[in-house]
Every structure is written in C-alpha cells, then in structure tokens.
Amino acid sequence: MSKPDLKPGQAPCEVSDLEPVAADVPKVVEFREVKKTYTTPGKPDFTSIEGVTFAVEDIPGVGEFIPILGPSGCGKSTVLRIIAGLPPHFPHTSGEVLVKDIPVSHPGPDRGMVFQDYANFPHLTVQDNVALGLDFADRPEKERRELSLEWIAKVGLDPKRDARKYPHELSGGMNQRVAIARTLIMQPRIILMDEPFGALDPVTRHRMQDLLVNLWRELEATVFFVTHDVAEAVFLGERIYIMSRSPGHILHQLRVTPPDAPSMETQKEKSFQDSVNAVKALLDPLED
Ligand SMILES: Nc1ncnc2c1ncn2[C@@H]1O[C@H](COP(=O)(O)OP(=O)(O)O)[C@@H](O)[C@H]1O
Ligand SMILES: [Mg+2]
C-alpha cells in the first residue's frame, strides 16, 4: 500500500495499513473478499466491486465515523447498500458480508440509511414522516407522538411550527433534517449515509455536519458516510476509506483527528487544510 509524503506532525492525518482485526474479536461490520457482478442477458457481465475486505471492531458504547471516498462509479453506494441488504446491489455475488458477525440476509432495524434525495413521503406531515419507523414497529401511539416531537427538536426543527408541515413546505436542509430524524429515531447500531449533504448549499452543509457530529456522539452508532467532499470527510471522520477505481476495493485507510470544534471554524485551520491536501493527493490520481 503506497503512502503519501506526510512528515510526522505535519497534519492530523495519517495513512495506515488496513490492519487485520483478529478473528476472535467481535465486529460490527466485516467484508471478506466481496464481489458484485451484474449479469444481464445479451450484455457482457459487469463487476462493480471486487476484493472488498475490511473489518470494523465492535466496541460496546463506541461507534466509529467512517467516511468513504472514491472516484465516481467505483462502488461506494454498492458497498453501503450491500450492508443495508438493499437490492439490486444486495445480494453480492461472492465473498462474505457480516453485520455483528452474522451474514446479512435482508434489511433490518439495526441498519438505517439516509440518501441524498431525502426520500420523505410527500403526503405525510413532518411528524408522520419522522414517526414512520415507529409505526411499522407498532409502537404505542403516545410513544410515537412524544418521540417524534423529541426528534424533530433534536434535528433543529421547531416541533410547534414544523411538525404539521408537509415536505413541499420545507427547504432542502429542513427536508434532510426530517430524513435524518426518521432514520435516527430508530436508534440503529449502524447508520449508512449516501452523499446526504450533496444537494445542500455550503452554509447549510456546515450546519448539518455539526448537527450530525452531535447526534452521532449521543447515539454511539457506527456511521458509514459516502461523500465527494474531501473536507467533509476529513472533518467528520476518524478513519477514512479510499476506494480504488471500478471495480472498487478499499485502497487506503487513513486515520484523521475526530472533530473537536465546529465545521466552519475547523476548516479554516492550516493543519486541517494540510490534511485535506494530503487526502486529495491520494484521490486525484484515481479520477479520470
Ligand atoms: N443494477 C445495476 N446494474 C448494472 N450495473 C449497476 C447497477 N447498479 C449500479 N451499477 C454500476 O455499478 C457501478 C458502481 O455503482 P455505484 O456503487 O453506484 O458507484 P458510486 O456510488 O461509487 O458512484 C457503476 O458503474 C454503476 O453503473
Ligand atoms: Mg453513489
């Protein structure tokens, strides 16, 4: 595995090898030589990922934040959706995908997914959108009402003013807050986010990054976060995976300093910019 020219102490970013996690250690997510090939009659087979291997140790009360970067089409969404158990990416063609050391066989409440296009239900109010998972889980009415109002507040919306609004009455940032609340209200052990802030303006994006850091600390969940924005990955991440060109596998693993100040402030610091440049130096050659 190649390493960039980073001098010790130059920046809070360190490229390390993907250290194997001992077989007898519990893992929250593990991929072993995972491959996905699409077979369409009359067309050549297409392999979107190949040899994807990584393991995230399961430490009680600790959730890691893991951004995934890589060139367009390398298979980032594929990896996320295989963890989630969502077709057509799931099932994979070969290799092993384990969540809590059990092979993934279908989606489950232990894994929550947030997409770029928020996927709120247009005919449901904010509160009903947020409470949807609780409805499916048949939780009592009182609990649904109270918890959904609590989560509306947690994601920075106003329970009094916003709960009865419909998605078309909300800005992009507010819609994404609703989608995040709908996923996190179920307290998943694993949160899968596919370019969730890709459609937001820069100011809203910084606010959402700060919100996410706070919610993540409270939930102690493991987050896999696909993004194209290197600064966002360096700000949010503790370890970053960089995927190779298609068919993708994990090419580099980086250790970065977890966030300890608001996004906007942190991103102005020289050491932060040095880290971003070091990551870009690894990524740029992978883009066409
Ligand atoms: N259902 C499908 N059938 C065939 N190819 C697909 C399908 N879904 C995704 N792909 C291909 O798999 C590759 C990886 O896709 P994706 O995981 O979405 O990449 P990324 O998220 O990194 O941009 C792409 O070339 C994409 O066109
Ligand atoms: Mg994608």
Q: Which helix (H) or strand (E) holds 83?
A: helix 76-84
Phi, psi angles (nearest 5°) of residue 201: -70, 160
Residues 100 and 28 placed together within one structural domain of the fold: yes
Residues 150 and 281 placed together within one structural domain of the fold: no
**pLDDT at residue number 3:** 38
What's the CA-to-centroid distance between 77 and ligand 1, angstroms?
Answer: 7
Residues 181 and 235 placed together within one structural domain of the fold: no
Q: What is the CA radius of gyration of the chain?
A: 19
**Structural domains in the chain (count):** 2
Report how far apart the first and last C-alpha atoms of the chain are (Å, whole number): 21
Say what the alpha-carbon torsion angle 73, 74, 80, 81 is, to the nearest 10 degrees. Answer: 50
Residues 177 and 203 placed together within one structural domain of the fold: no
Residues 182 and 193 placed together within one structural domain of the fold: no
Q: From CA 156, how far away is CA 151, in angstroms rounded?
A: 9
pTM (two decimals): 0.92
Residues 163 and 216 placed together within one structural domain of the fold: no
- Residue 23 domain-assigned (yes or no): yes
**Which of these, 6, 9, 12, lies nearest to 257 by C-alpha position?**
12
With contact defined as beta carbons under 8 Å apart, do 82 and 90 qualify?
A: yes
Which range of residues forms the domain containing residue 95?
Answer: 13-110+188-286
Is the CB of 167 inside a 6 Å radius of any atom of ligand 1?
Answer: no
pLDDT tens for 33-56 read 999 999 999 999 999 999 999 999
Residues 88 and 139 placed together within one structural domain of the fold: no
Q: Which long-range contacts (CB under 8 A, 24 or more apart) does 89-92 make?
A: 89/36, 89/48, 92/34, 92/35, 92/36, 92/49
Last residue of a domain, one of 187, 204, 227: 187
Residues 106 and 213 placed together within one structural domain of the fold: yes
254 φψ region: left (φ > 0), alpha (ψ -120 to 50), beta (else): beta
- Residue 88 domain-assigned (yes or no): yes
Contacts of 110 by beta carbon, 8 Å cutoff, 6+ apart:
99, 100, 188, 189, 190
pLDDT tens for 108-159 read 999 999 988 878 999 999 999 999 999 989 999 999 999 999 999 999 999 9
Is the CB of 88 inside a 6 Å radius of any atom of ligand 1?
Answer: yes
Residues 81 and 138 placed together within one structural domain of the fold: no
Residues 200 and 275 placed together within one structural domain of the fold: yes
Last residue of a domain, one of 187, 208, 243: 187
Mean pLDDT for back-to-back runs of 10 residues, the chain (288 residues) = 39 62 90 96 96 93 93 97 96 97 96 88 97 93 97 95 97 94 95 93 92 91 96 94 96 87 90 91 90
Last residue of a domain, one of 187, 215, 242: 187
Return the best residue to mutate from 36, 52, 68, 78 for the ligand 1 pocket (most ligand atoms within 8 A of CB). 78
- Residue 5 domain-assigned (yes or no): no
Residues 104 and 192 placed together within one structural domain of the fold: yes
- Residue 7 domain-assigned (yes or no): no
Contacts of 23 by beta carbon, 8 Å cutoff, 6+ apart:
none
